[in-house]
Amino acid sequence: MRISRLYVPIALSQGKKIELDNDSAHYLRTVLRLKAEAEIILFNGTGGEFSCIVDEVNRKTVLISVNQWHDKNIESPLLVSLGLGISRGDRMDLSVQKAVELGVNCITPLLTERCVVQFKGEKKPQRWQHWQKIIHHATEQCGRTAITEFNEISPIANWVSQQQGLKLFLDPYAETSLAELQPVNGTVTLLTGPEGGFSGQEREDAKVAGFIPVQLGQRILRTETASLAALSAIQMLWGDFNHRKPT
């Protein structure tokens, strides 16, 4: 039976007993539905994970005994940063979730000219926290022990001028394909647009900043499809999709 994994942003050490915070305790009780004596894996994003036992579960408290540490690392050798044009609702949620599963190291949600999402009042920090939780749960599910860095929401013009490595942006009308390129110092930065794509000015700003327009075949892909297809291709060409699992 598969053992559930839980991210906890606290120090962990063998032999320690910890009390989960309210959010983690709620998740263990109501989503994972674990009882006392159940096995669980905890990790805190600093590398490796711990085999643990649930000691106590009640309406007020969840106590965990931390047991053996395991040196687990399933990160891709390729460092990937993703600038993700903000799209609506489930599309953005899906893009963030799958980017984590596909090994992205850093995500920055970007405000673009054609972004249809409006942030008023407390909505911006609320959405950011919502996406951060998606990252944590995706990390729990896919087995990673490193948490994808999640930057603050940024205007695209600010972001493009600060990036490194092989810098790419998706353009259905580009003539260059991914297979013609190579990462720079093992690093790739990918820029993807919102539902309406990039404006002419945004395209020019990206090119001036050193971004290369690339195409993914002859079809125009939806925003959530484009980012996932590109990340999969990047991992196949230069990452760990073509590496065999050690025996």
208 contacts: CB under 8 Å, gap ≥ 6: none
- pLDDT confidence tier of residue 190, bands split at 50, 70 and 90: very high
- pLDDT confidence tier of residue 242, bands split at 50, 70 and 90: confident
Whole-angstrom distance, CA of residue 104 vs CA of residue 129: 18
**pLDDT tens for residues 140-177?**
999 999 999 999 999 999 999 999 999 999 988 889 99
Domains of the chain: 5-70 (2.40.240.20), 79-238 (3.40.1280.10)
**Percent of the chain residues topping a pLDDT of 70:** 97
Q: Quick check: 188 and 80 in contact, CB under 8 A? A: yes
> pLDDT value at position 244?
64
Would you state the structure tokens that stand for residue 58, as one six-digit string?
């009640």
| 186 has pLDDT over 70 | yes
**pLDDT tens for residues 26-71?**
999 999 999 999 999 999 999 899 999 999 999 889 999 999 999 9
Indicate left, alpha or beta for 42 from its phi (over 0: left) and psi (-120 to 50: alpha).
beta
Burial 20-36 (b: 16+ CB within 10 A, else e): beeebbebbbeeeebee
> pLDDT value at position 245?
63
**pLDDT tens for residues 199-231?**
999 999 999 999 999 999 888 888 889 999 999
| Nearest alpha-carbon partner for 199 in 157, 153, 151, 168 | 157
| 118 has pLDDT over 80 | no
